[in-house]
């Protein structure tokens, strides 16, 4: 099956500016397909110097390094990685609204079930009338000039690809914005979660947080660790099968970003994963000769635990396990819990040392009335039943 991946780096809540430049003709995409094997296609976008918005420092370098990483470490043919950056010549290769949407549409339409399509957009983001947008190089303030996240999701859903991912590095604390205007708003995050069925979204931070730039690395903190993970470090802290899937990558990036943001910047930045799919998505195959061993940081984490859900009228023997990351950031559930049950479950986890779990659980059924949690030798058991 094809995997369609959107990776997007952005900054949120920008002030108004001036009139927009007319969009340029979009660049063409001509990937090479070889019968009998899957093909990996990538659109990589980076914007530092906007015509009507504050400049950023590392988006172009982030995009360039990611493009190189995909070619060298992730089995992408050179001709199948399309890089759009501001200042590029000719003008049609710059990340205008027209070029971004046309390239995204072409890649999505070309994708077949066994292919991978990756979009990476690095630049500003805005929230207009409650909807999230990526800001192309020529855009001013009007939503008509922006690339809407909803439109990118629509493009994804139209694709034949059955596995789709959106990676968003948003709300940079650098540039010319205050820390308050740079924060990802709750409405921006909510829009990322909307209509997400069949799409995985990986974002660099959560609501009311900012995405750090790391001058010592010359990159955004999130994207730097994203790239290191794709180069192989995520596998050395995962199952070490020389393949990197989305959960392995998320766990690796989340750990590194949270640790470094707090240790070096005294700043809270917690990447988040919104998963509304079944199955797993493989992002990279590790070249064993070039993979870099990652430092052992497991001593800093809580012990792994299994979260057990025993639905009403069922015995513990037929429970549905919820697998968690080392810090319980990702919960995978076949059973779906009521909102009230989720809040009790979340509190029980946090009391036992797990970091803020993502709200990935949904309604289970109306027979669930109470939720009791207890710890048994590091295993978290949740019993659902009537009062």
Residue 339, φ and ψ in degrees, nearest 5: -60, -45
| Average pLDDT, rounded, for the chain | 68
Band (95; pLDDT cuts 50, 70, 90): very high
Q: Higher-confidence residue: 137 or 310? A: 137
- Which residues sit opposite 117 in a β-bridge? 4, 41
Each domain of the chain, given as residue ranges in start order, spans 3-285, 301-385
What is the per-residue pLDDT for 332?
A: 34
Count CB atoms within 10 A of the CB of residue 21.
15
Q: Provide CB contacts within 8 A for 65, sequence distance 6+.
A: 219, 223, 227
Instruction: Check if the beta carbon of residue 84 is closer than 8 Å to that of residue 44.
Output: yes
Band (216; pLDDT cuts 50, 70, 90): very high
Instruction: Check if the beta carbon of residue 302 is closer than 8 Å to that of residue 353.
Output: yes
What is the per-residue pLDDT for 143?
A: 82
pLDDT at 117 over 50: yes
Condensed to tens digits (0 to 9), the pLDDT of residues 264-285 reads 999 999 888 877 666 678 888 8
pTM of the entire structure? Answer: 0.66
Band (16; pLDDT cuts 50, 70, 90): very low
Condensed to tens digits (0 to 9), the pLDDT of residues 319-367 reads 333 333 223 333 333 334 445 555 555 555 555 444 444 333 333 333 3
Residue that is written with structure tokens 């080392």 in the block: 326
Q: Is the peptide bond before 270 cis (omega within 30 degrees of 0)?
A: no
Q: Higher-confidence residue: 67 or 207? A: 67
Band (13; pLDDT cuts 50, 70, 90): very low
Fold classification of 3-285 is: Rossmann fold (3.40.50)
298: its two tokens: 């497991």
**Helices (H), ranges, 159-208:** 179-182, 186-193
Instruction: Check if the beta carbon of residue 233 is closer than 8 Å to that of residue 290.
Output: no
What is the per-residue pLDDT for 258?
A: 92
Q: What is the chain's alpha carbon radius of gyration, rounded to the nearest angstrom?
A: 21
Condensed to tens digits (0 to 9), the pLDDT of residues 231-259 reads 999 987 656 778 888 888 999 999 999 99
28: its two tokens: 């063409």
């Amino acid at each position: 099956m094809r995997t369609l991946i959107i990776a997007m780096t952005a900054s949120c809540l920008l002030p108004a500016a001036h009139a927009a430049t007319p969009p340029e003709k979009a660049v063409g995409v001509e990937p090479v397909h070889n019968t009998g094997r899957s093909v990996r296609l990538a659109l990589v976008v980076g914007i530092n110097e906007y015509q009507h918005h504050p400049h950023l420092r590392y988006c172009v370098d982030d995009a360039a390094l990611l493009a190189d990483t995909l070619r060298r470490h992730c089995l992408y043919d050179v001709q199948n990685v399309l890089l759009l950056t501001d200042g590029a010549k000719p003008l049609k290769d710059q990340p205008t609204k027209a070029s971004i949407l046309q390239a995204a549409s072409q890649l999505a339409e070309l994708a077949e079930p066994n292919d991978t399509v990756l979009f990476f957009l690095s630049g500003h983001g805005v929230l207009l009338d409650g909807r999230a947008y990526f800001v192309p190089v020529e855009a001013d303030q009007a939503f008509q000039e922006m690339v809407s996240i909803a439109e990118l999701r629509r493009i994804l859903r139209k694709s034949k690809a059955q596995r789709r991912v959106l990676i968003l590095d948003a709300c940079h604390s650098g540039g010319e914005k205050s820390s308050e205007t740079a924060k990802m708003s709750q409405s921006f995050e909510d829009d990322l979660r909307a209509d997400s069925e069949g799409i995985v979204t990986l974002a660099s931070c959560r609501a009311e947080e900012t995405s750090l730039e790391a001058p010592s690395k010359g990159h955004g903190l999130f994207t730097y660790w994203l790239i290191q993970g794709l180069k192989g470090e995520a596998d050395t802290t995962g199952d070490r099968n020389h393949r990197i899937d989305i959960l392995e990558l998320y766990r690796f990036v989340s750990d590194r970003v949270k640790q470094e943001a707090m240790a070096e910047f005294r700043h809270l930045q917690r990447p988040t994963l919104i998963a509304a799919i079944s199955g797993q998505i493989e992002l990279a195959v590790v070249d064993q000769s070039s993979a870099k061993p990652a430092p052992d940081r497991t001593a800093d984490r809580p012990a792994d635990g299994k979260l057990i859900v025993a639905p009403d009228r069922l015995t513990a023997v037929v429970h549905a396990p919820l697998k968690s990351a080392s810090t319980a950031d990702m919960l995978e559930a076949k059973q779906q819990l009521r909102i009230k049950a989720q809040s009790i479950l979340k509190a029980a986890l946090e009391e036992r040392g797990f970091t803020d779990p993502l709200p990935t659980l949904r309604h289970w059924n109306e027979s669930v009335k109470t939720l009791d949690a207890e710890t048994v030798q590091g295993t978290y058991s949740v019993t659902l039943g009537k009062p």
